[in-house]
Structure 1
Amino acid sequence: MPKPPSRRSKATSGASTDSASAANSANEDISQQVDPSSATITVSAVEVTELTQEEQSDRLHLERKVERAFFEAGKALAELRDRRLYRSSHRTFEDYCRDRFGHSRRQSYLLMDAAVVFDNLVEICDQFDHKLPTAEGQVRPITKLEPHEQQEAWLRAVEVAGGKVPTGRIVKDVVQRIMERTQVPNTYQLEEVCQIVVKDNPELRGKGSCWGIVSQVNEFSCTVKIWDGEYAVGLQHLKSYNYLPAECQQMQVICDRINRVYWGGLEESVQRFLESLGKLNRAYLTDLEEKVLSLLELEIIP
C-alpha cells in the first residue's frame, strides 16, 4: 500500500523555495546597486533666523554678565574685606570666606587680584574690540606684571588664540616671554648658597626662607638643592647669602647630610627638624644641632 505524502516534507520544500527566491532577489538587488562613490546625498538646508536688534542687545548684555562674573566676585570680596563687614560673625576675613563661601585664603585673594587686572583690561579691550577674560585662571599669570604689561600680555594672548578668549596656558606662556625679556642676566654661580623668596608663587609654597645650593645655572632660573630635594627656581625668587667660598662648601656638606637623612624615610617629627635646619640663616650648625643630625645619620645610614 503506497505511503501517504509527508506534510513536513512539503513544508520544508516550500521553505527552501522561498529561501532560494529571497537569495536570488537579494543578489539581483546587490547587482543593481549604484556605486557609492557616484551616489548623490541630499541635504536639507536649515534656515538660520537672524537675531532682532533687541535680541542682539540682550545677547551682548548677557555675554558681558558672564565675562564679569569673577570680576564682580573679586570686587565684592575686596569690599567685604576693606569695610570689615565680616566682623559681626568672624574674627578674620579668611575664616569668614572659608565658612561663608567655602574659599581658602588663596582662592579669595586670587579672585580679588583678578578683579584688579580685569578692571585694567576693560578700557584697552573696548578700545581694540578684543575679548575680555571670562575666568580667574585666564588672568592669574598677568597679576605678576605691571599695569601696562598686563594690557600688552592680554592683547598678545588674544592674538595668539586667534581672536578668541585665550586659555590660561596661552596667557602664562605670553607672560613668561615678557618676564624673560625684562630680566637681568643670570649672575649666580654653581655651589652658591641662596635663599628662596616665595613672592606669592604658589609653586614654591612652603619653601619660603629655605636656603639651598645652586646645582645648575640656567638662562632665567637656577636649579637649587634644598633640604628635601631639587627645584627649578626663577631668578626673581632667589636671594644670595653672599657667603665666602669656605662657607658655601660647608653648607654644601650640611645640605648633603640633611638630604641623605630625609630620604631615609623617618617619621614626620624628624622631618620637621630637618626642615628647620633647611631654613637656617647661618653657615654652621650649633653643637646640639650637630649631635642630633649625627645621631639621625647613625640611625638611618648603614
Structure 2
Amino acid sequence: MNESPPLETPVLLSKPQLSGQELPVSPDQLTYDEERDRSHLELKIDKAFSKAESIFREAVAALKEIRDRRLYRNTQATFEEYCNIRFRFSRRRPYQLIDAAVVLENLQECAQPVHILPDKESQCREIARLKDPQDRREAWAEITSEGKIAPIKEIKSIVERIKEKSFTPYTKRSEYQVGDVVKVKARGSSTLRPYDGYWGIVDDITDYFYHICISVKNEVIGCKDSEMKRVDLDKECRDNIKSISDRILALAMRDDLETPALGIIDALSRKTVFTEGDLWFLAKAEEWHGISQ
C-alpha cells in the first residue's frame, strides 16, 4: 500500500459574506461547501490508507464521491492526476477502489440486511469480476455463509464457479458476427499484447472465443468479448477495410518484405479510416514487391 502524506486537519477559509447578488462562479471553481466536503472526504481517505484497513469502506465511498462530483477540478485537470498528486496512487489504483465502492453498494442493495461486508479491496476486486449485481450478492452470501469472510483463495473459487454458471456461450450471443471489424484491447493479457491496437476481422466464433484474423501478423488469434471492441463502419467502409485486409495479408505473407513496407502495413493495421496517401503507399509497396491488385 502506498505511503500517504501525514494527516492534517483541514483548513478552510471563512465562508465569504456577500451582499446583494452573488458573484458568478467558474465551472472549475469549488464553492465553499464543496471545498469543505472535499477536505473531509480526503481526510477519510488519508485515515484509511495510513492506518486501519477496516475503515476502507468509508475511504472508497469518499473517493467515489470526489470523482462523481468532480471535487478535484479546481486543482487538477483529471481525476487520475489528482489521485497521483494527492494520494500518490498509480493510474489503476483509484479505479480499483471505486470498483470496490460499487461492489459495496451492490451488496447493501440486497432485500435482506448484510451483516458482514468486505473489509479489503482485494475481496471486492474478486467480486467485481461478476458483472451482475445479483451474482455478486449470491457469491457474497456463500463467501460469508459461516459467519465470517472466507479466505481469498476460496473467494476466487466461488467467484469463478458462479461466473462459469452465468456465462452465455459466444455462439448464442448476437454482439458480434463473422465479418465484423474489431480492434484488439490487450488489457492485462501478455498473450494479446503484441496485437494491442490492431484491427482485425472476426473469422470464426466458438463458445468461449472470437477468432480474429490479424492481417499484418498473418495470424488468427482468440479473443474474449472484453478484449476487443467493435469498429462501427458503414457497408462501404466495411467492404473497403476487408479489401485492404486481403492486400495487407498478401504483403505480410512474403518472405522478402523490406522494412519500409513493414512500416506501411503496420501503420495501416492500426487505422480504420484511410486517406489517398495511405492507399498510394500501399500500392507502391505492392508494386515494389511485384504484387498485382
Match of 1:84 in 2: 70
Give CA deviations for 1:87-145 in whole Å, capped at 9, x if unaligned: 44323222111222232443212211211102322575995776736234653562661
Tell me which residue corresponds to 1:233.
223
1:142–1:171 CA contact under 8 A, matched in 2: no
| Partner-residue secondary structure (3-state), 2:83 | helix
Equivalent-residue separation in structure 2 for 1:211 and 1:249 (angstroms): 11
Among 174, 188, 199, the alignment partner of 2:161 is 174
Pair 250,143 (structure 1): closer, same or farther in 2 beyond 3 Å: same
CA RMSD across the alignment = 4.8
Aligned residue for 1:185? 172
TM-score by length of 1: 0.53
Alignment-derived partner of residue 118 in structure 2 = 132
Structure 2 stretches lacking a partner, 5+ long: 1-51
Q: Which runs of 5+ in 1 are unaligned?
A: 1-64
Q: Summarize deviations over 1:250-276 as a string: whole Å, max 9, x none.
A: 254135257559x97959x937x7345
Residue 291 of structure 1 is aligned with which of 277, 280, 283?
280
User: 1:105 and 1:259, CA in 2 relative to 1: closer, same or farther beyond 3 A?
Assistant: farther
Deviation of 1:286 after TM superposition, in Å, equals 5.0
Cα distance in 2, alignment partners of residues 68 and 291 from structure 1 = 61
Q: Secondary structure at the match of 1:225?
A: strand
Q: Indicate which of 214, 223, 227 corresponds to 2:202.
A: 214
Corresponding residue for 2:106?
120
Change (3 A) 1:84 1:278: closer
- More helix as a share of residues: 1
Normalising by structure 2, we get a TM-score of 0.54
Q: Secondary structure at the match of 1:103?
A: coil
Identity %: 22
Contact in 2 for aligned 1:193/1:211 (Cα 8 Å): no
Instruction: Tell me the residue number matched to 1:23.
Output: none
Decide whether aligned partners of structure 1 residues 86 and 286 sit closer, same or farther in structure 2, where only a CA change above 3 A counts: closer
The answer as to 2:87 corresponding to 1:97 is no
In structure 2, which of residues 137, 141, 161 is the aligned counterpart of residue 151 of structure 1? Answer: 137
Could you say what secondary structure the match of 2:210 adopts?
strand
Matched residue SS, 1:253 = helix
Q: Give the C-alpha shift of residue 74 in structure 1.
A: 2.2
Q: Would the aligned equivalents of 1:196 and 1:207 in 2 still touch at CA under 8 Å?
A: no
Match of 1:180, SS state, is coil
Q: Contact 2:201 / 2:212 at 8 angstroms: preserved in 1? A: yes
1:150 CA displacement: 1.9
Larger Rg: 1
Which residue is equivalent to 1:250? 243
* Alpha-carbon distance in structure 1 between the residues aligned to 2:127 and 2:194: 20
Could you tell me how far apart the structure 2 residues matched to 1:246 and 1:202 are?
31
Tell me: CA distance 1:108–1:196, structure 2 relative to 1, closer, same or farther (3 Å): same
3-state SS in 2 of match to 1:212: strand
Q: Is the 8 A contact 1:74 1:112 kept in 2?
A: yes
Question: How far 1:185 sits from its partner (Å)?
Answer: 0.7
How far apart, in 2, do the equivalents of 1:163 and 1:96 lie?
Answer: 33
The equivalent residue for 2:59 is 73
Matched to 1:232, the amino acid is: G
Contact 2:170 2:208 in 1 (8 A): yes
User: Quick one: structure 1 residues 129 and 218, their matched pair in 2 at CA, closer, same or farther if it must change by over 3 Å?
Assistant: same
SS of 2:65's equivalent in the other structure is helix
Moved more, 77-86 or 225-234: 225-234
CA contact (8 A) 1:131 1:165 kept: no
Deviations 1:200-249 (A, max 9, x none): 96558998885312344211321212355654223465548685997686
